[in-house]
Amino acid sequence: MAMLKRLIFAAFIAILGTLPLATAQLQVVVDRADLKPVPVAIPNFEAIGVDPEVAQTISDVIRNDLESTGLFVITPEDAYIQKDLNIEVAPRFADWKIIQTDALVVGTVEQIERDGNQLIRGSVRMWDVYGEELMRFEDSNGRQVSGRRFTTTPEDIRRIAHKIADAIYSRLTGEDGYFDTRIVYIAETGPRNARVKRLAIMDADGANVKYLTSGAFTVLTPRFSPTAQQITYMSYEGGIPRVYLYDLRRARQEVLGNFRNMTFAPRFSRDGNSVLLTQATNGNSDVYLMDLQTRQSRRLTDHPAIDTSPSMSPDGRQIVFNSDRGGSPQLYVMNTNGTPRTCPSGGRDIACRITFGSGRYSTPVWSPRGDLIAFTKQSRGRFHIGVIGIDGRGERLLTESYLDEGPDWSPNGRVITFFREPSPGASPTLWSVDLTGRNLRPLLTSTDASDPAWSPLLD
């Protein structure tokens, strides 16, 4: 009998563990909500010993950076009730709740002298209006700090703004920002039958455009190193299309590798130590991996079909590429070391096809987050930028137009940039779209532009 009771007791205790907590109070479950832009107020930073225009510029750039993401809506200045803000004093939260601002950014811009140099210093704090508390930042060393402060020369005040915008973005979204970055692209000028294509670089918000090549030779498909200020691209200099490496710090370019044949479609590995590229030999294209230190290359694919546009996973263990080995251009994933793998569609193979939809897939790019692959898809006469899981599941088309092509990820894997020709013969322009398909917007450039590629966050 005692044994029986123990048995029942044990069963009872086991059952108790499976029960939800017995609570008497009301329970409210909300599993999803419509994504709403976060209202953020960014009053003009206080100018201390500097031209108010400088503070105004920094404030404007921060607001523009954040609003451009589509994740934030900037509270208009004429809605402010409290005007007497001070970075060292807590705001009157009630005044900001009335105008339904979630976060309040307060900052100063001042001129300081250091080692005989006149510098500009920007400081910022952010307040959680409804929580009525300071929102702490994480500094570049991972420490929790009550505010951020950046110092630079007067010529680079925009970078102060981008740094501050990145800090705010990171604090509010949980991921790194991408404002203090650059975008390299192909600047196109001249008539279509005599197009001049130059390598150009600009800040991520379109400012500070510079040209890196003269236009004497056509250049295509620039790609930024994810770890260094280096660009790899294809140039027709010398008559044969070859992959080049451009070092931005030294402003020097060099042919990459000693390939006898045409090389194209380069892309850095995630660690920046090697470059994936395609070499065409007698009409057959295969993917190679070149070590940038030893300059030794290794052939990764060996197939009579056209294998091209390789991109490496963040951990370096896999690559995705485009191949017509199945009859039409589709995306394939393989291990970088060439070992067989179990394919999502069944069976084991060296390379596994991951796209099976109608249409032609090309220019795959592995997300820095590692979970998605962006691609160009041509279907029924229209082009799309889309994303798909690395196992081939969850394909989503984010854009559609006459010609959308050449996607590349922002360094945080949140935004995709690409170029678009809206109609036959129309000028190509740069665009960006959020990973979710929201916030499609143009990136304004002073010339026609194509083949954008995002830099990593600047130091």
Q: What is the footprint of another protein within residues 280-319 (CB under 8 A)?
A: none
Q: Is 227 in the site for another protein (CB under 8 A)?
A: no
Using CB under 8 A, which of the segments 30-38, 259-267, 284-292, 316-324 binds another protein?
A: 30-38
Among 99, 209, 220, 350, binds another protein (CB under 8 A): 209
Using CA atoms of 163, 165, 170, 171 in order, give the dihedral in degrees to the nearest 10.
110
406: left (phi over 0), alpha (psi -120 to 50) or beta: left
Structural contact between residues 377 and 361, judged by C-beta atoms closer than 8 angstroms? yes
Q: How far is the CB of 242 from another protein (least distance, A)?
A: 15
Using CB under 8 A, which of the segments 169-177, 264-272, 323-331, 402-410 binds another protein?
A: 169-177
List residues bridging with 185 in a β-sheet: 200
Give buried/exposed letters for 150-185 (b at 16+ CB in 10 A, else e).
Answer: beeeeeebbbbbbbbbbbbbbbbeeebbbbbbbbbb
Q: Is 168 in the site for another protein (CB under 8 A)?
A: no
Among 40, 109, 202, 245, binds another protein (CB under 8 A): 202
Q: How far is the CB of 214 from another protein (least distance, A)?
A: 6
Using alpha carbons only, give the angle 166, 442, 177 rounded to the nearest 5 degrees: 10
Using CB under 8 A, which of the segments 48-56, 144-152, 311-319, 351-359 binds another protein?
A: 144-152
Helix (H) / strand (E) containing 310: strand 307-312
What is the identity of the amino acid at 297?
A: S
When the beta carbons of 255 and 440 are compared against another protein, the nearer one is 440
- How far, in Å, CA of 452 to CA of 199, rounded? 10
Q: Is 208 in the site for another protein (CB under 8 A)?
A: yes
Using CB under 8 A, which of the segments 152-160, 312-320, 373-381, 415-423 binds another protein?
A: 152-160
Q: How far is the CB of 20 from another protein (least distance, A)?
A: 6
- How far, in Å, CA of 240 to CA of 198, rounded? 17
Using CB under 8 A, which of the segments 196-204, 317-325, 358-366, 377-385 binds another protein?
A: 196-204
Structural contact between residues 280 and 262, judged by C-beta atoms closer than 8 angstroms? yes
Q: Is 143 in the site for another protein (CB under 8 A)?
A: yes
- How far, in Å, CA of 421 to CA of 404, rounded? 7
Whether the CA torsion 352, 355, 357, 360 is positive or negative: it is negative
Site for another protein in 342-371 (CB under 8 A): 369, 371
- Token pair recorded at residue 274: 């090697």
The residue to which tokens 């897939």 are assigned:
361
Site for another protein in 369-408 (CB under 8 A): 369, 371
Using CB under 8 A, which of the segments 13-21, 45-53, 297-305, 351-359 binds another protein?
A: 13-21
- How far, in Å, CA of 305 to CA of 285, rounded? 7
Q: How far is the CB of 174 from another protein (least distance, A)?
A: 4
What is the identity of the amino acid at 20?
A: P
When the beta carbons of 40 and 343 are compared against another protein, the nearer one is 40
Site for another protein in 33-62 (CB under 8 A): 33-38, 60-61
CA distances from 142 to 109, 137, 214 (A): 24, 9, 42
What phi, psi does 64 have (nearest 5°)? -65, -45
Site for another protein in 94-123 (CB under 8 A): 100, 102, 119, 121, 123
Q: How far is the CB of 432 from another protein (least distance, A)?
A: 10
Q: How far is the CB of 305 from another protein (least distance, A)?
A: 34
Q: How far is the CB of 459 from another protein (least distance, A)?
A: 4
Site for another protein in 425-444 (CB under 8 A): 433-434, 436-444
Among 79, 94, 130, 299, binds another protein (CB under 8 A): 130
Using CA atoms of 427, 430, 436, 437 in order, give the dihedral in degrees to the nearest 10.
-10
439: left (phi over 0), alpha (psi -120 to 50) or beta: left
Q: Is 210 in the site for another protein (CB under 8 A)?
A: yes
Q: Is 19 in the site for another protein (CB under 8 A)?
A: yes
Question: By rule CB under 8 A, what count of residues binds another protein?
Answer: 127
Q: Is 452 in the site for another protein (CB under 8 A)?
A: no
Using alpha carbons only, give the angle 431, 202, 437 rounded to the nearest 5 degrees: 20
Q: Is 148 in the site for another protein (CB under 8 A)?
A: yes
Q: Which residues fall within 8 angstroms of residue 119, CB to CB, at 6 or more apart?
A: 111, 112, 113, 151, 152, 153, 154
Q: Is 207 in the site for another protein (CB under 8 A)?
A: yes
- Token pair recorded at residue 151: 């110092």
Site for another protein in 240-269 (CB under 8 A): 246, 248-253
When the beta carbons of 300 and 416 are compared against another protein, the nearer one is 416
Among 83, 84, 142, 380, binds another protein (CB under 8 A): 142
Among 44, 56, 111, 156, binds another protein (CB under 8 A): 156
When the beta carbons of 172 and 276 are compared against another protein, the nearer one is 172
